Amino acid sequence: MTNLLFMNKITSTFILSLALITHAFAQQTSTPLEKNNYQKVTSYDELTAYIHQLDEKSDLLKVETIGQSVQGRNLYALKFSSSEFGKDKSKIKILFLAQQHGNEQSGKEGALLLAQNLLKPENQYLFDKIDFVLIPQVNPDGSEANKRRNGNDIDLNRNHLILTEPETQALHVFFDKYLFEVTMDIHEYFPYGGVWEKYGYRRNADVTLGVTTNPNISEKIRNLSNTEIAPYVLKNLSINNFSSFVYSPGGPPEIDYIRHSTFDVNDGRQSFGIQNTFSFIQEGLNGKDAFIENIKHRAEGQMTGMHALIEYVYLHKNEIKKIVAADRKKLASGKLNANVSIQSEHVSNGQKLTQPLLSYSTNKDTVVIVNDYRPVVKSITDVKKPAGYLIPKKNKELVEWAIKHAFVTKDFTLQKGHKIEQYTINRIDSIDFERDIIVNPIVEKNDFPGEIVASEYLYIPTDQLKGNMIVLALEPKSELGLVTYKQYAHLLIAGEIFPVLRVVKK
């Protein structure tokens, strides 16, 4: 009995000491938002000072500058690790990025709360299995002006394929360096539009979570994300008193269909997902009248969702690493997805969606049954993945694009059993892509006549991790391709040969 009382006393003393340490740490490392009593969002200068303060206080954290914005502000990566980052191959690597859109402030604030929380003694066990990076602010120029776009007036979350901006370029260089197995892109959604007001309801979930939807991404990754990971995060949010729902844009119901976001690879989630990454988007509820409105609850909701995903990955590290490693190996060898979907559509699977909404008339939460619910992405046009593509070196913009993506390139020699194909653009039609009208060329494919002058072309093989991205970008009929951007629209000329050639097996 004496020994038991002694042990209970030691345990109680340890718990009390841990609580005091945790409280002291929290007091010393209050985020700028907390110090400003939630009346002012964190400025770039305050963010810079705060993250370096955290760095000085903890051996688990190292702050790295990975690039600069258009206006010269630093892009910071907070690298959490109990060892030298990226060296312990048994660990799983996670990357979170926030505030690609400058007027979505709660992602940044939630990220800073997360950084503070992860350094508490009771959470440091996570780094036994995880190397984690947090980029709290991808768009500091937009944040300072509280506007969506960056200093060049470009939407960064529509720039991940063409990579014209320094912010997205820096992000992808950093991703390529470590090849994270799990990513999350943190945003906010704004549900207050006039169409929804006229409908009489609006979305009202504190946090919504989306998974990868492009059909070329590993089916195992998409299935596990849908059936296990997303439900875990959403349940965790609910347990912590944050309303949550699956990310479901579109609508209003019965006016337009509801889907599960885009399958385009030009956003943060799908651009990493197309490399067979477990990649997610989290969107918190934006303020209606001011970006500071309800910011405490919004930021804490964002942090809770982020923390839940980290916990899930910690608990299932081996399974996630195994799936990613196997599917990336297949992708890099060219064996996965012999058919690549270049045009798809959102379709119904017969289910109806029970969607939680807020009624404008009663100002109370309710549910609406959505009949036109299209949760499935179905391919409507496939192409056989070629061995590679030949880009004319005289086309400087295409060559520069390939360099920005750090594609593996090779000197070209036509191997036995291979041939070269070219497309003729017969005419240029159009197609509806998620309520946008984009080009849909009618093409004819033929063997390349004569001999190729190899020195005039840059050869990009598709047996590499970004192989499916390369196909999606360079096929002229791809609704996700370069030709859908104004910078590359001139590549499509009716009656002319498409300048990018295919190398295929006979």
Q: Per-residue pLDDT tens for 174-199?
A: 999 999 999 999 999 999 988 999 99
In SS3 terms, 106-145 reads as HHHHHHHHHHHHHCCHHHHHHHHCEEEEEECCCCHHHHHH
- Answer yes or no: are the C-beta atoms of 275 and 469 closer than 8 Å: yes
pLDDT beyond 80 at 290: no
Could you give the 3-state DSSP secondary structure of residue 175? helix
CA atoms within 13 A on the CB side of 148: 9
* pLDDT 10s digits, 271-282: 999 999 999 999
How many whole angstroms separate alpha carbon 41 and alpha carbon 287? 13
Question: How does DSSP assign 58-93, residue by residue?
Answer: -TTEEEEEEEE-TTSPEEEEEEE-SSSTTT-TTSEE
Average pLDDT estimate for 368-383: 97
Structural domain spans, the chain: 48-333, 342-378, 385-505
* pLDDT 10s digits, 18-35: 444 444 555 568 999 999
pLDDT beyond 90 at 62: yes
- The reported pLDDT for the residue numbered 197 is 94
Could you give the 3-state DSSP secondary structure of residue 465? coil
How many whole angstroms separate alpha carbon 270 and alpha carbon 257? 21
User: Is the CATH number 3.40.630.10 carried by domain 48-333?
Assistant: yes
Instruction: Give phi and psi for 87, each to the nearest 5.
Output: -85, -30
Average pLDDT estimate for 236-264: 95
Enter the tokens of residue 421.
């194909």
Q: How do beta strands 182-189 and 92-98 pair?
A: parallel
Picking from 62, 226, 221, 222, the residue whose alpha carbon sits closest to that of residue 132 is: 62
- Answer yes or no: are the C-beta atoms of 471 and 351 closer than 8 Å: no
Question: How confident is residue 501, by pLDDT bands cut at 50, 70 and 90?
Answer: very high
CB atoms within 10 A of CB 347: 13
Question: How confident is residue 289, by pLDDT bands cut at 50, 70 and 90?
Answer: confident
Enter the tokens of residue 331.
């992708």
- Name residues whose C-beta falls within 8 Å of residue 156's C-beta, 6 or more positions apart in sequence: 100, 101, 138, 139, 142, 149, 150, 165, 167, 168
- Answer yes or no: are the C-beta atoms of 440 and 345 closer than 8 Å: no
Could you give the 3-state DSSP secondary structure of residue 346? strand
Residue 78 identity = L
How many whole angstroms separate alpha carbon 402 and alpha carbon 169? 12
Enter the tokens of residue 450.
């004569």
Picking from 385, 466, 477, the residue whose alpha carbon sits closest to that of residue 439 is: 477
CA atoms within 13 A on the CB side of 296: 6
Cα-based angle 228, 222, 95 (whole degrees, multiple of 5): 80
The mean pLDDT of the chain is: 93
* pLDDT 10s digits, 115-167: 999 999 999 999 999 999 999 999 999 999 999 999 999 999 999 999 999 99
Among residues of the chain, what percentage have pLDDT more than 90? 90
| Weakest-pLDDT range from 1-10, 303-312, 422-431 | 1-10
Cβ-based burial of 232 (10 A; exposed 0-12, middle 13-18, buried ≥19) = middle
- Answer yes or no: are the C-beta atoms of 188 and 285 closer than 8 Å: yes
- The reported pLDDT for the residue numbered 27 is 54
Enter the tokens of residue 263.
């399958």
How many whole angstroms separate alpha carbon 257 and alpha carbon 347? 10
- Name residues whose C-beta falls within 8 Å of residue 276's C-beta, 6 or more positions apart in sequence: 217, 218, 221, 324, 327, 328, 331, 336, 465
340 - beta bridge partners? 383
